[in-house]
Amino acid sequence: MSAQPHEVVLPAYGVESGLTRLIEMLSAAEGAPEVRVDFQRVKFYRPSAIVAVLARVKAWLVRGATVRFANHRECEAFRYLQRIDFFQTAGLNLPEDFFRRDRADRFVPVREISVVGSNIGVIATEITECFAPEGFILNPFYPLLQYALGEVLSNCKQHAKAMGFVAAQYTPRDDRVHFAVADIGIGIRESFRQSQSPHFRESMTDLEAVTLALRPYVSSVSHLPHIYGRPSNMGVGLSMLREITLKLHGSMFLASGRAWWTYDVEGRERQGDLTGESRWSGVICALSLRRNAVEDYSKHLAEARDALRLTSGVSRGTRRT
């Protein structure tokens, strides 16, 4: 008799407040030779939950496990998941009985990020353009969204050393664009360890690694000798995003290994460890930004740099423009 598959019954709502629970649920299937993912309850998923499920499914497939989806056609979110290419990206091609528009201003299809070949500038721009039907110039929110996507994707590409996924969604009710990137890479603590970072010590916890990664000019690779003479990453991206989301009443979520950290829209910072033996092999980074919160893109960036005490502005910096 063959062993019963490990069953993951996905919750009805995949939102940031329940993300750690979802991660724990997915994490429990690690090592199982066969995983059955039940979509029956699924009603509404934010990009963070979508990329979390996708990344785990891919990770299971990569390690040779058999993954079966159940009740996905019957769940309330079926059409939405189909429209964002969730099933197709997971490797399941289903017939479609709806008309696909080239552009949708409320969501974009899931995109896969590979270490080699992905042009993250183009991906960030294409995602941003979907939410900006009136064009980039009229609302300073869009350059900020493009910047935030670029920083998160750049981080994923440089550190994960494995594939990742990005998804984005606009919700009119709270006027927010939500986006998330999840990878199946080595995770933040392991990145510090493998690169023999001066910040690393054996006793370092995942939570210490996650909070360290949010500090300016801390990167797991900034100390490394590099084929191009200098590192590509100075450790600014995540700390800038943290500062910007705080200032603009956005939200941010970061999880890696056993740790999670979050800033919610009320400005409350929380962090902790997943329960039991749960861990996320890789990194999940999710942000939400309110579309009407941005007044002046450059000013917000300058304020964030000042708040972080990053060096800002020199008299001769752009003397030859």
Partner 1 sequence: MTETFKMREIFGSFLADGEAANAFRFSQIESLLGQGRVVVLDFEGVTNMTDSFANACFANLALDHPDAFDSRVIFRNCSSVVQAFLRAAIAFGRSEAKRLQRKQ
Which residues of this protein are in contact with partner 1, per CB under 8 A? Answer: 119-122, 124-125, 136, 143, 146-147, 150-151, 153-155, 157-158, 226-234, 236-237, 240, 297-298, 301-302, 305, 310-314, 316-318, 320-321
Give the residue carrying structure tokens 């059955």: 36
Smallest distance, partner 1 to C-beta of residue 305, A: 6
**Rounded distance between C-alpha atoms, residue 279 and residue 188, angstroms:** 12
DSSP H/E element including 166: strand 164-171
Nearer to partner 1, 198 or 317 (CB): 317
Smallest distance, partner 1 to C-beta of residue 263, A: 19
Nearer to partner 1, 95 or 313 (CB): 313
Beta-sheet pairing, 107-113 with 164-171? antiparallel
Nearer to partner 1, 100 or 226 (CB): 226
DSSP state at residue 189: H
Smallest distance, partner 1 to C-beta of residue 288, A: 19
Q: Cα 147 vs. chain centroid, distance in angstroms? A: 14
Smallest distance, partner 1 to C-beta of residue 309, A: 11
**Rounded distance between C-alpha atoms, residue 6 and residue 37, angstroms:** 8
Q: What is the largest CA-CA distance in the chain?
A: 75
Nearer to partner 1, 70 or 224 (CB): 224
**Rounded distance between C-alpha atoms, residue 119 and residue 124, angstroms:** 9
How far is CA 300 from each of CA 76, 223, 277, 296, 307, rounded to the nearest angstrom? 39, 29, 40, 6, 10
Nearer to partner 1, 230 or 268 (CB): 230
Nearer to partner 1, 28 or 234 (CB): 234
Smallest distance, partner 1 to C-beta of residue 279, A: 27
**Rounded distance between C-alpha atoms, residue 302 and residue 202, angstroms:** 36
Q: Please answer whether residues 297 and 140 qualify as being in contact, where contact means their C-beta atoms are separated by less than 8 angstroms.
A: yes
Smallest distance, partner 1 to C-beta of residue 215, A: 15
